[in-house]
Amino acid sequence: MYTYIDLFSGAGGLSLGFSRKGFSNVFSIDVDPIFCKTYKRNFPNHLLLNEDITTLTQERIKEIIKDKSIDVIIGGPPCQGFSIAGNIGRHFIDDPRNHLFKEFARIVSVVKPKIFLMENVARLYNHNNGKTRSEIIKTFNDMGYIVECRILNTADYGVPQIRRRVIFIGTNNPKIKIHFPEILYSEKQYKTIREAINDLPPLRSGESSSVPNHVAMKHSTQMLTKMSFVKDGGDRNDIPESIRPQKGDVRKYVRYDSSKPSICITGDMRKVFHYEQNRALTVRELARIQTYPDNFIFEGNSIAQQQQVGNSVPPLFADSLANVIKEMLKDA
């Protein structure tokens, strides 16, 4: 059985995919106690470290791993240093906001897995005219890893959501040929949001149900009035001018289009409305869009639950990534 370590594991989207495909978890680590509560509930047999990765020493890692050979390290380190507002001209590697990427690289250098897989937001790919991508690749090249990266869209793998992510795959074994999962669905075959959530019990603002995490947010009367004007797939321009919000994120005050995959799920979807019910989506509906099974329970308050879902790698996408890593390991 192939082994893996999950860094920045969050609620466990990547872990779920790799575990379902037969990989054995050696340990996972995340600093957030609420995210860890969710992870522990859903992966009771995994060794989870609820701690700051910067304090995880080489000695401790070796103590946990013992004499196990680690096949793959997976994870998505948070990187803030390539935002549009970032310092122009500053190197990605030197930006202190990217210290967590350095931690991912440090653990790879200590463990020396046969393969690593690192996931991040798509804009990293072209940031600073591609220099950021080159810096990341060089960091791993200097450790003896051959690295390739590609932007993948989760909708191509059966996820009912347009979610583009950059995937870096590296190997220190010259026999292993790096490849990425083949596209499974054409644009015409994409799963829609309606297909993903339409069978869940309908809810009004503030109502709950017997389905875990399927609890509707309580909206103000003013908000309910505004959203009532927005049609299926519509936006704030459907709201009468006298009460229309004039400022703020253009991705807010929109209604999901029932005939298409969802827009990208983030940690805050409170002003994006159900395609026909007058409310924001519940955590369970967001989790369905992220392809979590209904028996995967999210802990914490509703905001923490939304953040966990929004920060996740969709498990169905993780399945495809795990499959391709398994194929690559056959050459090792």
Provide the annotated active-site residues.
79
Say if CB 183 and CB 153 are below 8 A apart: no
Partnered with residue 323 across adjacent β-strands are none
CA dihedral (215, 220, 223, 224) positive or negative: positive
Say if CB 229 and CB 236 are below 8 A apart: no
Retrieve residue 112's tokens.
């020396």
Give the Å distances, CA to CA, from 76 to 102, 104, 185, 286: 12, 9, 24, 20
Q: How far apart are CA 226 and CA 204, in angstroms?
A: 15
Q: Work out the burial of residue 9: count CB atoms within 10 Å of its CB; fewer than 13 is exposed, 13-18 middle, 19 or more buried.
A: buried
Closest by alpha carbon to 183, among 3, 312, 320? 320
Q: What is the CA radius of gyration of the chain?
A: 21
